[in-house]
Amino acid sequence: MVMLLQTIKKAPMRSLSTICLFAIITLAAACDKDDVAENPDDFTVSVKAGNYKVNDTIQFDFTGDADIITFYSGEFGKVYNKKDRISEKGVNKLVFQTNMNQGKLVSDDTIDLLISTNLVNYDAAGIAAANWTNITTRNQKWPTALSNTFVTSDSIDITDFSDAEKVNIAFRVITKRTDTAMQRKFQVQNLTLGNKLSDGTYTPLFSNFANIGWAQTSVKNAAEAWDVGEWNVSASNSINNSAGIPIRTAYPITFNPGLDSTGEGNEDWLLTSAVNLRTVKGDAPSQVIKTGVQGQMASFRFIYKTPGTYTATFVATNSRTNGTSQVIRTVTLTVTP
């Protein structure tokens, strides 16, 4: 580069344009070469033995180099070949808590649990058009007393619906005016739903209030409704739902018919957003053991604390402005007690 600058300074004016063009080409070629993500083919991994005991320190020796080295131990949840999976059939269990209070203990007022595989619209017409399966009897732990104490449901198996592209779960309250007693007030909280695979992997499908996407629809008596939003109405764009009830953003969710014992009855639906019961989360790396700011890495040590056969996987990556290039190296290990 110094010689190139000296040549430019000494060159006659008529040659300057030619030299500058040469300089530009030379600099561009140098930048292009530096920006090429060379494939780290020379990166290899080896161990001194294939059989180890629990709590042995295993040393993985490297040759070659890469900008980034990512390690998957092969332990549960850290399997490289499972990092990209997004769908797999497992066992789906639903759990929630409910209570009921006010009114009469012996009453025609009911809360039902239903599930649909073809709900399209969340309004009354959409609910009527969908096919619903009543699974209320799959739970034997509904409230039996008028109380503010919540009752935890059974762990309800709904795996038989997992072949569908999506499902919606609903709590339907129907209250009637058969005498002068107040209608029942119902509350729901802490609904969870997951997908557990045969290898033990558990993916939470519904884990908290926010990620469930609750919506309410009043089919009868629009003045009374569950205290969440509805289709296109939520706490993000409105304070109240269409019934004028402040929208809840945390548990418990309440259907409150008020204290009036002379008004009309209700049919009100509390709906979850649609969910694919086969959804799974991909496995994650155990750790990134080298980044580009580090020098060449000669080895890495790891301890397995559980017996088993593991495929330890190392992903060696070179990254430049023009993209990335990587190689995968694996070592199979047997760890005994």
**What is the full per-residue pLDDT of the chain (337 aa) written as tens digits?**
444 444 444 444 444 444 343 343 344 444 444 555 578 889 999 999 878 999 999 999 999 999 999 999 999 999 999 999 999 999 999 999 999 998 888 888 899 999 999 999 999 999 999 999 999 999 999 999 999 999 999 999 999 999 999 999 999 999 986 667 788 999 999 999 999 999 888 999 999 999 999 999 999 998 899 999 998 899 999 999 999 999 999 999 999 988 776 667 899 999 999 999 999 989 999 999 999 778 889 999 999 999 999 999 999 999 877 788 999 999 999 999 9
**What DSSP letter does each residue of 39-95 carry, written as one string?**
--TT-EEE-S-SEEETT-EEEEEEES--SEEEEE--STT--GGGTT--B---EEEEE
Predicted pLDDT of residue 178: 63
CB under 8 Å to 3, separation ≥6 — which residues? none
CATH no. of 44-83+283-336: 2.60.40.10
Handedness of CA 221, 224, 226, 232 (dihedral sign): positive
pLDDT value of residue 64: 93
Contact 248, 233 (CB under 8 A): no
Euclidean distance between CA atoms 193 and 161, whole angstroms: 13
In the prediction, which pLDDT does 179 show?
Answer: 62
Residue 190's CB is within 10 A of a number of other CB atoms, namely: 15
* DSSP H helical ranges for the chain: 2-10, 13-34, 124-129, 209-212
User: Residue 160 carries which DSSP code?
Assistant: G
Element holding 334 (H helix, E strand): strand 323-336
How many whole angstroms separate alpha carbon 236 and alpha carbon 249?
A: 10
What is the rounded CA–CA span in Å between residue 84 and residue 65? 26
End-to-end CA distance of the chain: 62
pLDDT of residue 26: 41
Instruction: Name residue 184's amino acid.
Output: R
Name the pTM for this structure: 0.77
3-state secondary structure of 22: helix
| Cα four-point dihedral sign 203, 205, 209, 210 | positive
Instruction: Please enumerate in sequence order all residues whose Cβ is within 8 A of that of 145, keeping only pairs 6 or more positions apart, or say none.
Output: 105
